[in-house]
Amino acid sequence: MDLSNFFEIELKEHNAVLAETRRTLGPAFAAWVNCCVQALKNGNKLLFFGNGGSAADCQHLATELTVRYKTDRAPIAAIALTTDTSVLTAVGNDLGFDQLFARQLRALGRPGDVAIGISTSGTSTNVLEALRAAKDMGLVATGLGGGDGGRMVGLADPLLIVPSTTTARIQEMHITLGQMLCGALEVELGLVQP
């Protein structure tokens, strides 16, 4: 393999997806930030969930919010529903993997909280079930998707759909958008000066 060529092709594709994300997702990003700000100002919390690499993004973003992003400041209420191995294995074993996140949302979610489902394909059943549970319970159901949004369309609003069908490029934009959310929340909540 010509690694120099590979390097250039990967970055060229990344830049193309970044440019299209910039062109298309600004309004959806603003709506996402605004609904999170409103929830947090009302004493609610953010609940992140997803599978695989998306699960890692959930943990990463919840940590940035509860601990710190750019500087020391008051904690922001955020939970990743991807971390408790006892809950994950009990739900998977007793209720089925499809209920992995919905069950936790039903236990921990409260009306006004923001549910943030992350799925590159938009077809992960456990993410879809959790978004349905969130809507049923009066949470704000939001999400990060890719491609055409899959079955998340109509379940999550706002839904930020990364304009790519390449999983790696979608994941790159998800973590970028997520970290932008963290930075925006710090400023919008008055915890950090812009």
Q: Is residue 32 part of a domain?
A: yes
Q: Is 109 within 8 Å of 83 (Cβ atoms)?
A: no
> Helix, strand or coil for residue 46?
strand
Q: Is residue 166 part of a domain?
A: yes
Q: Is residue 193 part of a domain?
A: no
> Helix, strand or coil for residue 161?
strand
Instruction: Give residue-wise pLDDT tens across range 29-52.
Output: 999 999 999 999 999 999 999 999
CA-based end-to-end distance of the chain: 45
Residue where the block lists tokens 């400041």: 73
How many domains does the chain divide into?
1
C-alpha distances out from residue 135 to 62, 119, 157, Å: 21, 17, 10
Q: Is residue 92 part of a domain?
A: yes
Q: Is residue 97 part of a domain?
A: yes
Instruction: Give residue-wise pLDDT tens across range 99-151.
Output: 999 999 999 999 999 999 999 999 999 999 999 999 999 999 999 999 999 99
Q: Give the structural domain span for 116.
A: 3-188
Q: Is residue 194 part of a domain?
A: no
Instruction: Give residue-wise pLDDT tens across range 17-32.
Output: 999 999 999 999 999 9
Looking up residue 149, the CATH number of its domain turns out to be 3.40.50.10490
